Amino acid sequence: MSLPNDESPTPAASSTELAGASDRLRILEVSGSAAGGMRAHVTECARILAGAGHDVIVEAPADVLADGDLGAARAEPLTIGARPALGDGAVVARLRRLGRRADVVHAHGLRAGALAALALGGRRPGRARLVVTIHNQPVGGRLIAAVGDRLEQLVAGRADHILAVSPDLAERQRTRGAERVDLAVIPAPRRNTERLAPRASSVESAWRGAPRRVLTVARLAPQKGLDLLLDTASLLAGSLTADGAEAGLAWAVAGDGPERASAEARIGAEALPVNLLGRREDVPALMEAADVVVQTSLWEGQPITLQEAMQAGAAIVATDVGGTATTTRGGAILVPPQPQALADAITELLTDANSRAQARKRARQAAELLPDEADLRAQLQAVVAHR
């Protein structure tokens, strides 16, 4: 692994310095590559802490900072890629210099957490307090798993406080000897009522007029289980019948990503009832119009998509992986990540109006239990104040 050692040279001073009044904490928020919920969480943490009167600087890639509401927090672009790189030495040196003047360094993700840990060194009096939020588990082959294990060991050994987005990630850190580990608070998104009233024709076209409507909202990436989705769609197409003919089923998938081309090829070759919608801005309306909202992920932290589905009162089927059960709080039907299990649960909801109504009711009830920004604010204040 090409992570730099703790003796990397220090570059020239950056244009932004961590300075603040004595009655507030100087907090450095650090993030590597981030998208979706992780990117939103980085921005939200910075905005909340700055709004509480702390002096906050965000060091993250430019695309993470773009268009984010940081409030009173300041920001500097810092390139931390998804994999070890030659520039990691300069990143460690920069974080070391900024860390000397910070009271708290809050890193998001294993890569950023490990680089911050190298920059700050081991736990000792006078060192900036290191908080790491772990958003994902390493997914891939042996090399990725080995690198991920080393990063986890480094973070567990040097972080003062770890926040993990799912119970399984939290347990992994505890077994590695982490000093203090808690489940991270991921607030449910605020509902945007303007997004609930798009053109009716736009919503209808998502399912091409099919009477049975299944919806998935996900990035088309390996973690989201796109092959599992297509396998399940194949089973549904073969099993759902109406008057002796195939039922009018359409599975709309809102989202884009690197696996779109391969999915399109398989959908065409097998004539699957799946419609790839690309990125959509009317997700809440789609969720309300769907008969069933389905998540086929192979792993999740606290998926914002399912929070939105619960807020929409959707009937939900999801794979029981990562922090999904923690997020849904009884508001979804959870099944193993297997095509037949998914197909059976979806079929029951599509063919039984009472089951569907009960599932919608459970989703709405569970949505009332979702955490909000006030819960995240309380957790962040407790963590930075070392309570």
pLDDT, tens only, 217-275: 999 998 999 999 999 999 999 887 544 445 689 999 999 999 999 999 999 999 999 99
3-state secondary structure of 107: strand
The arithmetic mean of pLDDT across residues 2-27, rounded, is 50
pLDDT tens-place string over residues 131-171:
999 998 766 667 777 777 888 999 999 999 999 999 999 99
pLDDT value of position 308:
96
Residue 190 is classified by DSSP as P
Distance, C-alpha 224 to centroid of its chain: 11
Segments making up each domain of the chain, as ranges: 26-186+372-384, 193-367
The arithmetic mean of pLDDT across residues 289-318, rounded, is 96
pLDDT value of position 20:
43
pLDDT tens-place string over residues 24-38:
899 999 998 888 888
pLDDT value of position 86:
83
pLDDT value of position 1:
37
What percent of the chain lies above the pLDDT cut of 90?
71
pLDDT value of position 37:
84
pLDDT value of position 190:
80
pLDDT value of position 8:
40
pLDDT value of position 66:
87
pLDDT value of position 192:
61
Query: Sorting pLDDT into bands at 50, 70 and 90, what band is 387?
Result: low
Query: Sorting pLDDT into bands at 50, 70 and 90, what band is 105?
Result: very high
> Domain 193-367: which CATH class?
alpha beta
What is the residue-averaged pLDDT of the chain?
A: 88
pLDDT value of position 33:
86
Q: Are 250 and 212 in contact (CB under 8 A)?
A: yes
CA distances from 213 to 24, 61, 311, 314 (A): 52, 38, 18, 12
Selection from 172, 189, 194 nearest residue 181 by Cα: 172
d(CA 48, CA 35): 19
Q: Are 144 and 152 in contact (CB under 8 A)?
A: no
26-186+372-384 CATH fold: Rossmann fold (3.40.50)
pTM: 0.85
- 92-96, 234-238, 317-321 — which is least confidently predicted? 234-238
pLDDT tens-place string over residues 279-299:
998 999 999 999 999 999 999
Q: Residue 106 pairs with which residues in a beta bridge?
A: 29, 131
Q: Does 213 or 238 have the greater pLDDT score?
A: 213
d(CA 86, CA 78): 14
Q: Name, of 7-16, 84-93, 365-374, the range with top average pLDDT.
A: 365-374
- 110-120 and 142-158 helices cross at what angle (nearest 10)? 50
d(CA 109, CA 133): 6
pLDDT tens-place string over residues 15-26:
344 444 446 899
d(CA 19, CA 56): 9
Q: Do domains 26-186+372-384 and 193-367 have the same CATH topology?
A: yes
CA distances from 105 to 41, 48, 208, 326, 384 (A): 16, 15, 50, 27, 9
**The residue to which tokens 């808690």 are assigned:** 182
d(CA 387, CA 385): 6
pLDDT value of position 149:
84
Q: Are 47 and 70 in contact (CB under 8 A)?
A: yes
pLDDT exceeds cutoff 80 at 178: yes
Q: Does 239 or 177 have the greater pLDDT score?
A: 177
Contacts of 381 (CB under 8 A, 6+ apart): 52, 387
Q: Which two tokens stand for residue 180?
A: 């203090």
φ, ψ at 160 (rounded to 5°): -80, -30
Query: Sorting pLDDT into bands at 50, 70 and 90, what band is 337?
Result: very high
pLDDT exceeds cutoff 70 at 13: no
φ, ψ at 275 (rounded to 5°): -115, 110
Helix residue ranges, H only, 159-206: 167-175, 200-205
